Amino acid sequence: MTSRKRLLFVEGGGDNNHALATACRKGFRKFLEKTGSFTGRMPRIVACGGRGQAYKRFCSAFREAQPCDSVVLLVDSEAPVSQTSSWKHVAQRQGDGWQQPGNATDEQLHLMIECMESWFLADPHALEEFFGQGFQRSALPPGTSLESVQKQGVYDALKQATRNTQGGPYGKGKHSFALLARVDPNKVRAAAPSADRLLNHLDEVL
């Protein structure tokens, strides 16, 4: 009897970078574990490197999937999302132009709006604990509507907040997945509806 596949393809981990891919898988796994919802039913997390490679690997797995399998793609939106459909967003975004494969549903493509780093802003306490002395919390955007903060604004805020810390300034490959493992997913899903949508969907299909 063939076992059911549970696959979550994620953007990140670097192309042909073994250590970064491992860190990516560990970061997402820890993030999911901390929800308390996926004990004994954790998906296999596939770190794909660039977003184009993530899409290609998802499409390949989707074509081979059985009806009982769960195949999900998670990428940065890279830009504000005005479309009600995730697939319409990536089809129309300059630089993507991705076509929705076969009968894939909107629930199989999830977006981090506008980037994974947006999630970190939901948990300033975790950031402060991670970077330690010199962390400037006041440099982070106020409020809880994280998905309205543009990608460059997120990066700028993180770099400004961490520039005087011993481990700073924030660097994507250097810090991103270690931080993902530390942030509170409940705070993230409260501040980012796209994260809540992802976690609810995984809870349903796994």
Residue 32 located in a structural domain: yes
Check: CB of residue 69 under 8 Å from CB of residue 4: yes
Instruction: Please count the structural domains in the chain.
Output: 2
Instruction: Indicate if 51 and 82 belong to the same structural domain.
Output: yes
Q: Are residues 97 and 151 in the same domain?
A: no
Asked if residue 74 belongs to a domain, the reply is: yes
**140 and 119 Cβ atoms separated by less than 8 Å:** no
11-20, 49-58, 191-200, range with the lowest pLDDT = 11-20
- CA-closest candidate to residue 140, choices 121, 126, 125, 127: 121
Q: What is the pLDDT of residue 206?
A: 86
Tell me the pLDDT of the chain averaged across its residues: 94
Residues 11 and 106 grouped into a single domain: yes
- Write down the pLDDT at residue 84: 87
pLDDT at 2: 59
Domain shared by 75 and 94, yes or no: yes
DSSP string of 38-71?
Answer: -TT-PPEEEE-BSHHHHHHHHHHHHHH--TT-EE
Kind and range of the H or E run holding 112: strand 109-112
- Please write the tens of the pLDDT for every residue from 107-157: 999 999 999 999 999 999 999 999 999 999 999 998 668 899 999 999 999
pLDDT beyond 90 at 3: no
pLDDT at 144: 66
Residue 164 has pLDDT above 60, yes or no: yes
Residue 188, domain member (yes or no): no
Could you tell me if 138 and 154 lie in one domain?
A: yes
Residues of the domain holding 11? 6-115+193-205
Which H or E run includes 9?
Answer: strand 6-10
Q: Are 156 and 70 members of one domain?
A: no
Percent of the chain with pLDDT over 70: 98
- Residue 187 placed within a domain: no
Is residue 37 packed enough to be buried (19+ CB in 10 Å), middle (13-18) or exposed (0-12)? middle
pLDDT tens-digit map of 76-110: 999 999 988 999 999 999 999 999 998 999 999 99
- The answer to whether residues 23 and 107 belong to one domain is yes
Q: Do both 94 and 42 map to the same domain?
A: yes
Flag whether 144 is in a domain: yes
Rounded Cα distance between 1 and 77, Å, is 38
What tokens appear for 7 in the block? 């696959």
Q: Residue 173: pLDDT band by 50, 70, 90 thresholds? A: confident
Domain shared by 47 and 95, yes or no: yes
* Mean pLDDT in residue range 59-79: 96
Q: Are residues 65 and 125 in the same domain?
A: no
> In this structure, is residue 183 part of a structural domain?
no
Q: Answer yes or no: is 185 within a domain.
A: no
Q: Please check whether residues 74 and 108 belong to one and the same domain.
A: yes
